[in-house]
Copies of this chain bind each other. A is one copy, B any other.
């Protein structure tokens, strides 16, 4: 079996497996055995490639955020006007794979982990800043800087809040309803400023 060049394949498989296990489990207290089993390799191999469980989990967060970032970049490129770009950011935040229960569970676990892992915290701060600055940049084309900051804070909080409420799976809100609610917030705020 042993072919050369397995490293990237295994690393990806293990990171994907970690995401799945974390999502199912709904927590970062997962074992290397579970992850390795899910990836179809031995626990020892996971250690061989990642050195430690912590490193594997950190890499998992990193990859996850990278993918989200890519989606955002793509969506922003497709949108023309500032208003369209705002909608694009919102839409990506709630797109199917992001809003799936397992993904939400994983996000929540990452946020909790950030309390004790400085590196995880750093990644999430970067995500939060990026979301914020994407919103502010486009809002500034539509209103004054001060208002843009305030509205962006509100919109970002609403997006994150819709996530966390979704995680409880009580009275789940549909993707469309979540998008509508956030869009509505933006529209209402912007309209209010024009009067």
Q: How many residues of A are counted as interface, with CB atoms below 8 angstroms from the partner's CB atoms?
A: 46
CA distance A128 to B116 in the complex (A): 26
Query: Chain B residues near A170 (CB, 8 Å)?
Result: 125, 128-129
Could you mark each residue 147-189 of chain A with 1 if its beta carbon is under 8 Å from any beta carbon of chain B, else 0? Answer: 0001001101111111111011111010001000100110011
In the bound complex, do residue A108 and residue B116 qualify as a contact, i.e. CB atoms below 8 Å apart? Answer: no
Q: What's the dominant secondary structure at chain A's contact region?
A: helix
**A188 CB contact (under 8 Å) in B108, B112, B192:** B192
Please indicate the chain B residues that have their CB under 8 angstroms from the CB of A112 in the complex: 26-27, 108-109, 111-112
Asked if A29 and B29 make an inter-chain contact with CB atoms under 8 angstroms apart, the answer reads yes
Closest residue on chain B to residue A125 by CB atoms: B170
Residue in A109, A113, A150, A153 with the greatest tally of chain B CB atoms within 10 Å: A153
Complex interface: chain B residues within 8 A of A64 (CB) = none
Q: Which B residue's beta carbon lies closest to that of A162?
A: B157
- Say if the beta carbon of A121 comes within 8 Å of chain B: yes
Decide if A13 is an interface residue (CB 8 Å cutoff).
no
- Which chain A residues (55-99) contact chain B, with CB distance < 8 Å? none
Residues of B within 8 A of A137 (CB): none
CA distance A167 to B185 in the complex (A): 23
Other 8 A-B pairs with CB < 8 A, given A129-B170, A157-B162: A114-B167, A114-B168, A121-B168, A124-B168, A156-B161, A158-B161, A160-B160, A188-B188
Listed by A's residue number, 22 A-B pairs whose Cβ atoms lie within 8 Å are A27-B113, A27-B116, A108-B108, A108-B111, A108-B115, A109-B115, A111-B112, A112-B112, A121-B169, A125-B170, A129-B170, A132-B171, A150-B184, A153-B173, A154-B181, A154-B184, A157-B158, A157-B162, A159-B161, A161-B163, A185-B185, A188-B189
